[in-house]
A and B are shown apart, each in its own frame.
Chain A
C-alpha cells in the first residue's frame, strides 16, 4: 500500500502531495522536508529505492520533477515504480507532452487524474485509456454544468 505520493521539483518545491493515510498537516510538511532533502541529494547513479524510517521510498525523476512514492516494507518496489510510471504516462497523455508548468497551473487536474489511478493507496485502474476516458467524461460534465449555468 502506498502511504503518500509526492511530486517535488528539483528546487525542492512541492508540486503535488497526497497522503492516503490520515496525517496532520504539520507532520506532512516535516516529512516533505525530510524526504525531499534525502532524495534531491542522491546521485543519479544510484538505485531508486531507499529505506526511510519504517518505510521504503521509491522514486523516479522525470525531467525536472521527482515522483516519490512511500510504500511499506513488504511491498513490491518494482510495482511502485511501475505505478509511478503509469501516473506519469496518464499525465503525459492528458496534457500532451506534460511539463512542470502544466502541473503548476492545473494542479487540480493532476489530483483528479491521481484520484482515478489510486484510491486509499491502492491501484484501481491499470488501463491508461480507461483513466483518460473517465477524466474526459468528468471534464465534460463540468463543461455542461458551466454551459447550463450560463444559459440559466
Chain B
C-alpha cells in the first residue's frame, strides 16, 4: 500500500498547504476514494477515519456511507471503531443505509467485549430510526438487564432517543426501565432518573406513580448530578400533585442548608420558587439564598439569580425585598453584557412602582445617552410608563419632558411610540395640557443652531407637537399672543416642515389653521398678523406635490379668505373645532355597526354631567359645614345654583381652614408667569426649569382619563372589567374617587360639645385592601379665654387598633389649644367592624384645664362616642340586575330585615348622578333599572357587601353572615309637587 497515508500525515499535509488547502484536500479525497475500494480492511478503516476528519472541515462524505457500514461490520475492534465513529458523525436517522446496520448492532450487542457493545449503543443513539428500533427492541431489553453496569447505563440513556423515534417502544420498556430505579449502581440510577426526567418533560402526568421511589432516592442520595435531575423532575411533578410540595419541604430545606455545590443549591432554589406556595418559610429561605447569589462576585451566578428573580417577582409579589433588588437591577443594567442587561431590563419592568419610577427612568435615560445601542432602554421606559394607562407616572409634566428628550433621538425605532404617548397623555390628563403645549411649542421652535433651519425632533414628534398646538391652543400661557404667532410661524414657515412626509405636513397646516380659528378667543390682537401669515405661507403648500397636503392647504386658505382678519366673523367659526377629543378605544371604529343610518348621529349626545356644586356655606364660619353636609349631595342647593358660586367667590376662600384648594396657587401662577429669559436657550432646559418651578409651587394633581370611549351599542369587551349587565339596565355613574374623597372631606360631624371644647370628626372611606379606616379629627375651644385647655387626647378602646396612638391615646392637641386645632389623622384597623349598622365607638376624651389664677392643671376625662354611619364598612358589590334577583330569591333568609323611608324633594335635574353620588359615598354599587319610556320615574338598585368575618371583634360588634348583602331599592316618582323618593333597604335579620 504505497499510497496509503496516515491520519497524522494528512493533517500535517493540510497544515503545510496553508493557502491552497482545498487543492491538497481534493487530492487526499481522490486517494481516499481509491483506499475505500481496497480489499484491506485496515486501509479502508483508515480512509473512513480520514473522511470523518474532512467532514469536520466541511467536506461531504455521503458518497462513502456504504464503505462506512462495511468498516463497522469488520470483526476487529481496531478497524470497527473508526467506522462507528464516522457513522455517528455523519449518519442521521434519514441515512438510507441505516437498515444495513441492524444486523451489525445485533451482532455487536451480543459481543464478548462490553466495549464493542458500548460503541454500538453509542452509535445507535445517533442514528436510530423507527425501523431499526422495532427490530432490535428485544436485544435492547436484554441489555437493560445486562450484568454489566456499563452497558445498562448506556442502554437506559439511549432508550430516550429511541422512544422519540418509536413511541410504542416506551410501553414495552416501561416496566424494565422502572426497575432500574432500584439499581445498585449509582451511574445507572442517575441515568434512569435522567431518562425519566426527559420523558416527564414530554408528559409529566404519566410519571406521578414514580413519586414514592423518586422521593426515596432524593432523601438518600448525596450525588450532585442525581440531586439536580431529581429536583428537575419534582419541579415538573409538584404542580400536578397537591400533596407533593408539603412533602418536599424537608428534603429541600436540607439541601439548601447543607449542599456545597452551587449548581445543586441553585436548582433547589429554582425548585422552591416554582413549586412552593407563597408565604412558607422555605420560600423565605430560598429567597435569602438567592440574594447571596445576586451579590456573588461570579457574574454567571449573578446572571442566573437575576433571571430567576423574574419568576420570583412574578409569583411572590409581597415577599421580596424590592428596594435591594431595585438597586441591584439598576447596576446590572449598566453591565456591558447584553444578556444580563436584557434580563435586568425585563426585571426592572416588573419591579418598578410609582415611588421609584422617576429614578429608574432617569437612570435608563442616562444609560441610553452613553450606550450606542440604546433602543432597549428607551423601549423599557416607554413600556413601563404605558403600563395600565400610565399607572406609574405621578408627575405627567415631568414625563412629557422625558418624552421630549427621547424624541431628540432622530433614529430611534420608538419614535412613533413616543409621539403616540405624548398625544395620548395630553388627551387623558387635562391638567398637564398648559405645560404640554408650551413644551410642544418649544420643541418645534428650536433656535436655529448655526443657521441650520431644521427641527431637532423626530418626525412623528413634529406631527404630535403640531396637533397639540392646534388642539390645546387655549391652554397656552396668557398672554398668549406671542405664543400664537410663533406657533403659527414655526408650523408654516420653517422650511424643514416642507421636507417632511405628507401626513406631517397636513398636520402642521391644520394645526396652524386651528390656531387661527382660536385666535379671537385667546389672543384677539393678533388676528390680522395670523391671517396674513396664513395667506402668505399657505400658497407654497398648495403647490405641494403631495395631493393631500395641497388639498388641506387649499381648504385652510379658503377658510382664511372667508373669515378674513375680522375677529367678529372669526368668532362664529369657533364651532368648527370646538368639540374636545376624548381618548378613543383603538377598536372603537370597528365596533360601530355596519348598517349605519347616516341621518342618525353616531353617538347619542349625552347631557353633560353637572359638575360638583360648591357648598352653600359661609366660609367665615366653617363649623356650619358640619350641620349642612347633606347639602354636599346637592339636594338643597339645586334651586340656588345661581347664587352659590358667588357666595364662595366673595369670601376669601383660602382664609378658611377647610378650604381644600391649594393655598399657594397664586404663588405658583406668579412663578409660572415669570418673564422668560430672552437669550436663546435649549427649549428642554427651559422646560426643565419650569418643571422645577411647578414642583416647588406644589405639583399639580393629575387626573387620568383611563377609560376609553367605545362605540355605543358595541358589546363591552371582557377586559374592560365591567360586569356584564342585562341590556335593560345601566350601571349608575359613580363619581370618580377624587370627587368622592372631596365630598367625604366635607362630611364633618360633631362628636362632642362640652364645657371646654368641641370635637369634630370626619370619617373617610375604609381602605379595603389594607383593612384600615381613616378618621380626621379637630378640636375647637369653647371656654372662656382665661381658662387654658391643653394636651387634648382621644383614647380609643384597645380592640380598635389605632396606628398612630401611643400609650395616652391619639393626641389631638399638644400644648395649649388655641382657637381651633389643626386636622389630626387616625388610622383605625377596620377588621373588627363587622356589623353593618350604626355603631358608636366609645372613646375617652382627656385634656388638661388650667385657670389663669391657679397653678395646678386639672385633668379632665370624658366619655365620648364616635358614631360610624351604618354604611361605613360596606363594600360595593358589582352585580347585574339578574344576579341581584337571583340573590333575592335564593337567599331570602338573608333578607329578613326590611325598612322603608320616603322622602320628597323639589325637582332636580339629574337624579341619576345624584343617586350615583350617594351610592359612592355609602359604598354601594348602583344600577339603574329600566322603566317604561313614557313615565319619567326612575328606579335604582344599590348593592353593598358586608365586611368579611375576622378574628378581632369590638364590644358591641357581631359578625354578619358570610356573603350577606345589603340591597337598597330607590324609586323616584315624579309628582307635580316635586319628586318623591321611596327607599327600601333589605338586609339580613338581626
Same assembly: yes
Q: Which residues of A contact B (CB under 8 A)?
A: 1, 14-20, 22-25, 29, 43, 45-51, 74, 76-79, 81-82, 104-105, 107-108, 111-112, 115, 119-120, 122-126, 134, 137-138, 141-142, 145-146, 148-149
Q: Which of these, B15, B81, B126, B299, contacts A20 with CB under 8 Å?
A: B126
* A14-B57 in contact given A119-B125, A120-B125, A125-B187 (Cβ < 8 Å): yes
Q: Which of these, B85, B127, B340, contacts A112 with CB under 8 Å?
A: B85
B 82-105 contacts with A by CB, 8 A:
82, 85, 88-90, 92-94
Instruction: Kindly report which residue of chain A lies nearest to residue B86, judged by CB atoms.
Output: A108
Q: Which of these, B121, B127, B340, contacts A47 with CB under 8 Å?
A: B340
Question: Within 8 Å CB of A46, what residues of B?
Answer: 299, 335-340
Main secondary structure of the interface of A (DSSP, over half): mixed
A124→B304 contact, CB < 8 A: no
A48–B303 alpha-carbon span in the complex (Å): 9
A and B contact pairs by CB, cutoff 8 A, 24 listed: A15-B56, A16-B56, A20-B125, A22-B127, A45-B336, A46-B335, A46-B339, A46-B340, A50-B339, A76-B267, A78-B262, A81-B300, A108-B49, A115-B88, A119-B122, A119-B125, A120-B161, A125-B153, A126-B187, A134-B115, A137-B115, A142-B78, A145-B78, A149-B76
Instruction: Kindly report which residue of chain B lies nearest to residue A119, judged by CB atoms.
Output: B157
Question: Within 8 Å CB of A78, what residues of B?
Answer: 262-263, 266, 300, 304
Q: Report if B60 contacts A (CB, 8 A).
A: yes
A47→B303 contact, CB < 8 A: yes
A148–B263 alpha-carbon span in the complex (Å): 48
Residues 561-582 of chain B, each 1 if its beta carbon lies under 8 Å from chain A, else 0: 0000000000000000000000
A14–B115 alpha-carbon span in the complex (Å): 28
A138→B81 contact, CB < 8 A: yes
Q: Would you give the shortest CB distance from A54 to chain B, in whole angstroms?
A: 14
Instruction: Kindly report which residue of chain A lies nearest to residue B153, judged by CB atoms.
Output: A124
A124→B154 contact, CB < 8 A: yes
A138→B77 contact, CB < 8 A: yes
| Contacts A25-B62, A119-B158 supplied; 8 other A-B pairs, CB < 8 Å | A22-B126, A29-B58, A47-B303, A49-B303, A108-B7, A119-B122, A120-B125, A123-B190
B157→A105 contact, CB < 8 A: no
A104→B11 contact, CB < 8 A: yes
Q: Report if B42 contacts A (CB, 8 A).
A: yes
* A120-B81 in contact given A24-B92, A107-B56 (Cβ < 8 Å): no
Question: Within 8 Å CB of A125, what residues of B?
Answer: 153, 187
A126–B185 alpha-carbon span in the complex (Å): 13
A104–B56 alpha-carbon span in the complex (Å): 11
B 741-766 contacts with A by CB, 8 A:
none
Size of interface on B: residues with Cβ below 8 Å to A: 68
Question: Within 8 Å CB of B335, what residues of A?
Answer: 46
Question: Within 8 Å CB of B195, what residues of A?
Answer: 122
A119–B198 alpha-carbon span in the complex (Å): 14
Q: Report if B53 contacts A (CB, 8 A).
A: yes
Q: Would you give the shortest CB distance from A113 to chain B, in whole angstroms?
A: 12
A107–B190 alpha-carbon span in the complex (Å): 29
A141→B115 contact, CB < 8 A: yes
A105–B55 alpha-carbon span in the complex (Å): 15
Q: Which residues of B contact A (CB under 8 A)?
A: 7-8, 11, 15, 42, 49, 52-53, 55-58, 60, 62, 76-79, 81-82, 85, 88-90, 92-94, 113, 115, 118-119, 121-122, 125-127, 150, 153-154, 157-158, 160-161, 187, 190-191, 194-195, 198, 201, 225, 228, 232, 262-263, 266-267, 299-300, 302-304, 335-340
Question: Within 8 Å CB of B338, what residues of A?
Answer: 46
Instruction: Kindly report which residue of chain A lies nearest to residue B79, judged by CB atoms.
Output: A145
A22→B94 contact, CB < 8 A: yes
A74–B235 alpha-carbon span in the complex (Å): 11
A142–B191 alpha-carbon span in the complex (Å): 28
A48→B300 contact, CB < 8 A: yes
Instruction: Kindly report which residue of chain A lies nearest to residue B165, judged by CB atoms.
Output: A22
A117–B451 alpha-carbon span in the complex (Å): 71
B302→A47 contact, CB < 8 A: yes
A74–B202 alpha-carbon span in the complex (Å): 13
Q: Would you give the shortest CB distance from B146 to chain A, in whole angstroms?
A: 15
B122→A141 contact, CB < 8 A: no
Interface centre among A24, A25, A45 (most CB of B within 10 A): A25
Instruction: Kindly report which residue of chain A lies nearest to residue B41, judged by CB atoms.
Output: A149
Q: Which of these, A22, A24, A79, contacts B225 with CB under 8 Å?
A: A79
Instruction: Kindly report which residue of chain A lies nearest to residue B188, judged by CB atoms.
Output: A124
Q: Would you give the shortest CB distance from A23 to chain B, in whole angstroms?
A: 7
Question: Within 8 Å CB of A15, what residues of B?
Answer: 56
A141–B270 alpha-carbon span in the complex (Å): 45
Q: Would you give the shortest CB distance from A89 to chain B, in whole angstroms?
A: 15
A17–B57 alpha-carbon span in the complex (Å): 10
Question: Within 8 Å CB of A138, what residues of B?
Answer: 77, 81, 115
Question: Within 8 Å CB of B56, what residues of A?
Answer: 14-17, 107
A123–B127 alpha-carbon span in the complex (Å): 19
B266→A76 contact, CB < 8 A: yes
A16–B11 alpha-carbon span in the complex (Å): 14
| A-B CB proximity, top 10 nearest | A46-B337, A78-B263, A145-B78, A22-B92, A120-B125, A142-B78, A47-B303, A120-B161, A47-B299, A145-B76
Question: Within 8 Å CB of A122, what residues of B?
Answer: 157, 160, 191, 194-195, 198
Question: Within 8 Å CB of B82, what residues of A?
Answer: 108
Question: Within 8 Å CB of A25, what residues of B?
Answer: 55, 60, 62, 90
A108–B81 alpha-carbon span in the complex (Å): 10
A45–B118 alpha-carbon span in the complex (Å): 41
Instruction: Kindly report which residue of chain B lies nearest to residue A23, judged by CB atoms.
Output: B92
B198→A1 contact, CB < 8 A: yes
Q: Would you give the shortest CB distance from A31 to chain B, in whole angstroms?
A: 13
* A45-B160 in contact given A22-B126, A81-B300, A145-B77 (Cβ < 8 Å): no
A105–B118 alpha-carbon span in the complex (Å): 24
B266→A142 contact, CB < 8 A: no
Question: Within 8 Å CB of B262, what residues of A?
Answer: 78
Instruction: Kindly report which residue of chain B lies nearest to residue A43, judged by CB atoms.
Output: B336
Instruction: Kindly report which residue of chain A lies nearest to residue B195, judged by CB atoms.
Output: A122
Question: Within 8 Å CB of A18, what residues of B?
Answer: 89
Instruction: Kindly report which residue of chain A lies nearest to residue B11, judged by CB atoms.
Output: A105
A79–B160 alpha-carbon span in the complex (Å): 20
Question: Within 8 Å CB of B79, what residues of A?
Answer: 145
Question: Within 8 Å CB of B302, what residues of A?
Answer: 47
A105–B6 alpha-carbon span in the complex (Å): 11
Q: Which of these, B81, B263, B340, contacts A142 with CB under 8 Å?
A: B81
